[in-house]
Structure 1
């Protein structure tokens, strides 16, 4: 199934996409508390999901709406938790090298400066990134959805996107084993980790996290839907692309992940609970951001992230 959260009038509702142009209002199709919201459905478990599948197959006329007549929101408008990880390591390697290069270019002898910077080891990927899942906690209250304008913070001049995807946790758990980890994934969605580069880089240069460079209103884009695992032939073989004003900037594949979402599930449940409705971001695929490409977004640019079998997450960036 492809599950969505949508608005019609003043109501926020849970739905399932039917074909390319219709949505099933699950609460209108059946009186079930599990259909009150996406979080309620996730918490209700497999029984509720099976009932939703049955209703989507029946397509009762009373509950079918034209997709053009509703407004899609982030599928989980307020996740109970949001962590973004470094599961794609090739991006990290290239971004670190690009960072060093940008610093060196400001010096009188860029070549010598670059060699000196790289010799410090600060701009090379540390082994710990290969050994375990490295992550930071994102703001689960600063979530944007499809079609929403991303109003850039006034303290930043460098607007950037990041082409990512995310898994949503279904059944929670504690000390989950690797063999069972896939059973705890409710579904997948597209994730745009919007980044204010001119704010992020100086903070990270102080050996801290990204800070306000990734912590601003609507800075975590999710959507357009959550796709359940049974919809995907192989989640680790999906093409990922990013377009800016219709021009392709980025292309990659989920097959290039060093760590899997299952690895994150195991690690994040170690000696502590993992909860239904948590969102785990993948990190950026190789070439999946303007910083890597030496390109910057401009006021009014339309950014479209597309992942095979999931859909397109489109947003326009606008200056405050």
Structure 2
């Protein structure tokens, strides 16, 4: 299934994609009495039983619960994830970005050995999440804004010390993640070796959507085509099959002596040529960013200065 959270003008509701511009209000389809269908988080926590119920409703698709995509506004599928982490697992992106960073700062950057041995990640701001069609507010302290085309997983079943072999069973689904970046702020912070701060942390800086595609629809390890456009022009992209560490390895690493919970989001990091930095190009006020991932859809947003 392709699932989303949309606003109908009154409230946020959980919907399933029926195709051809139509969505199914899952809660309304069930008569408005089933708590597992009230929100994406509730559905995730409801486990396989809740997913089976949602699939049953999609098969029936009662007419009164059908709505047109054009009549609603999309939100992030998980408007407030339980937790957000973002990894860095595409070697091409890292090589390209380090070359550009060296040109911009005059300082040499090289991929550390640890990157090849284990996934590296930081914890992102789960309170600054927006969805498809919503505007990104340009942070006042930055002059060099960029996007990042990423694939993300949503954890369905929690656990601690999860093995790489068992990890795929813990994935609820996949979505697109646009990790917006203030590159000038990020360059100032990088020598501190503590991880991104104001280079990543600003309101509306994390974008998810438009759909979560349930894990049963996508084979693991994932190999999906990815493409980035700005104002209709293709800037770059690649394929998620180029991940140096798979999502299974990522889950195993993160869950070592640490419990993962249903509703956590984990980003892959940027696919090679999936951001402007790699190309020596940055965004301008009013630019429209379109990030497309095979099977999931297109995540479209405009960046605006206040």
Shorter-chain TM range is over 0.9
User: Structure 1 CA distance, aligned partners of 2:221 and 2:29?
Assistant: 30
For residues 61 and 233 of structure 2, the distance between their equivalents in structure 1, rounded to whole angstroms, comes to 37
Gaps of 5+ in 2: none
- Which residue of 293, 296, 299 maps to 1:307? 293
Whole-Å separation in 2 of the counterparts to 1:234 and 1:127: 26
1:57 corresponding residue in structure 2: 59
Contact 2:221 2:246 in 1 (8 A): no
- Tell me the distance in 2 between the aligned counterparts of 1:83 and 1:211: 13
| CA apart distance, 1:235 | 5.5
CA contact (8 A) 2:168 2:220 kept: no
Q: Report the RMSD for the aligned CA atoms in angstroms.
A: 1.1
Per the TM alignment, residue 208 of structure 1 is displaced from its structure 2 partner at its CA by: 2.9
1:264-302 alpha-carbon deviations (Å, 9 max, x no partner): 111111112110000000000111110110111110000
- Partner of residue 34, structure 2: 32
Choose which of 172, 175, 182 in structure 2 pairs with 1:189: 175
Query: How far did 1:234 drift?
Result: 5.7
Give the distance between the partners of 2:220 and 2:49, measured in 1 at CA.
24
- TM-score, normalising length: structure 2: 0.97
Aligned residues: 304
Residue 233 (structure 2) aligns with: 247
- Partner SS, residue 56 of structure 1: helix
Given that 1:229 and 1:235 are in contact with CA atoms closer than 8 Å, whether structure 2 keeps it comes out as no
Please give the secondary structure, in 2, of the residue aligned with 1:211: coil
**Paired residue for 1:12?**
12
Greater gyration radius:
1
Among residues 110, 133, 147, which one is paired with 2:133 in the alignment? 147
**In 2: Cα distance, 1:256 partner to 1:135 partner:** 17
Which runs of 4 or more aligned residues in structure 1 lie more than 6 Å from their structure 2 counterparts after TM superposition? none
Contact 2:221-2:247 at 8 Å conserved across structures: no
Q: 2: CA distance between counterparts of 1:205 and 1:294?
A: 21
**Which residue pairs with 2:101 in the alignment?**
99
Q: How far, CA to CA, are the matches of 1:2 and 1:144 in structure 2?
A: 18
Equivalent residue runs for 1:237-276 within 5 Å: 237-276=223-262
SS at match of 2:165: helix
Structure 2: distance between partners of 1:9 and 1:255: 39
